[in-house]
């Protein structure tokens, strides 16, 4: 439906006498005509797209159709246009397979091992820890750990997120059938850029909101979009084995300020007679 046809139906509600002042307004430039206000409102609300949704940290917007949610998520997760992201994803799954034995024993060491493997493959990867305080009276304090990869080009810098427990971040105790269907379409591991992360989190938080509302229960603060976005976009510290001693300031990437820290834990996999030994120091 075009903006023009919408405007026409609204102005047709007025008779010719009442409509004339709306169309032929010629008053002081410091004031806006009612016609201008109506047209501006319609244009603003008709041009809403995924980009605006991606930037909303606490949207109260609710999807009407679950099929629309599935379609939008599929559009994000099936996009193979980014060759670098595809190669990074391949290396991530290779690392997950190599260090699978660590996953249940120590998730933190497992995550560091994956990051170290990615660095060996030539990626600027590090474990990233975000943390934030409670604010606005609605967002509770929290922290989160994931892997990020910085890709530097000749003129631009891109940040990629590697979340090895992505689907698990959105699981709830008593999901509706619709929400379970949405969650099944989400990959367990997320590898993608800032826009893809923001959009997918926003869409999944909307789906969770509908789930809670259908159960007629309040939405927990830690399930709201603003809280969930903080997990990946709050101020962070990047931790890498290769850096020792005093923290080093990292240039701000995509509006997120990070510090690069070193840590002493080193995971070594050795095979002796078929056994796997894990050593930290």
Global pTM value: 0.66
Q: Is 95:188 a contact under the CB 8 Å cutoff?
A: no
Neighbours of 122 (CB within 10 A): 9
Domain residue ranges in the chain: 3-47, 66-279
3-class SS of residue 57: coil
* SS3 call for 250: strand
Q: In tens digits, what is the pLDDT along the chain, a chain of 281 residues?
A: 444 444 444 445 444 444 444 334 344 444 444 444 333 333 333 333 444 434 444 444 544 467 889 999 999 999 889 999 999 999 999 999 999 999 989 999 999 999 999 999 999 999 999 999 998 888 899 999 999 999 998 889 999 999 999 999 999 988 999 999 999 999 999 999 999 999 999 999 999 999 999 989 999 999 999 999 999 999 999 987 543 334 334 444 455 555 554 443 434 433 333 333 333 33
Confirm if 168 and 135 have CB atoms less than 8 A apart.
no
Distances (CA, A) of 31 to 10, 39, 43, 45: 21, 15, 19, 22
């Amino acid at each position: 439906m075009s903006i023009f046809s919408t405007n026409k139906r609204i102005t047709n509600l007025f008779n010719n006498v009442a409509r004339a002042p709306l169309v032929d307004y010629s008053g002081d430039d410091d004031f806006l005509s009612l016609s201008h206000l109506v047209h501006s409102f319609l244009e603003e609300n008709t041009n809403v797209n995924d980009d605006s949704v991606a930037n909303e940290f606490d949207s109260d917007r609710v999807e009407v159709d679950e099929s629309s949610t599935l379609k939008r998520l599929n559009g994000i997760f099936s996009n193979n246009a980014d060759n670098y992201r595809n190669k990074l994803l391949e290396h991530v799954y290779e690392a997950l397979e190599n260090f699978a034995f660590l996953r249940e024993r120590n998730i933190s060491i497992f995550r560091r091992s994956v990051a170290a493997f990615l660095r060996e493959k030539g990626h600027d990867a590090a474990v990233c820890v975000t943390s934030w305080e409670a604010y606005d009276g609605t967002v509770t304090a929290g922290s989160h750990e994931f892997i990020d990869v910085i890709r530097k080009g000749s003129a631009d810098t891109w940040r990629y997120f590697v979340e090895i427990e992505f689907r698990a971040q959105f699981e709830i105790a008593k999901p509706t059938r619709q929400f379970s269907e949405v969650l099944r379409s989400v990959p367990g591991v997320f590898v993608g850029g800032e826009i893809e992360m923001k959009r997918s989190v926003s869409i999944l938080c909307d789906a969770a909101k509908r789930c809670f509302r259908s159960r007629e229960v309040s939405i927990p603060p830690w399930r709201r979009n603003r809280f969930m976005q903080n997990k990946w976009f709050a101020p962070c510290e990047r931790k890498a084995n290769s850096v020792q001693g005093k923290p080093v300031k990292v240039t701000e990437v995509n509006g997120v300020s990070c510090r690069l820290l070193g840590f002493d834990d080193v995971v070594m996999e050795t095979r002796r007679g078929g056994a796997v030994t894990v050593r930290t120091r």
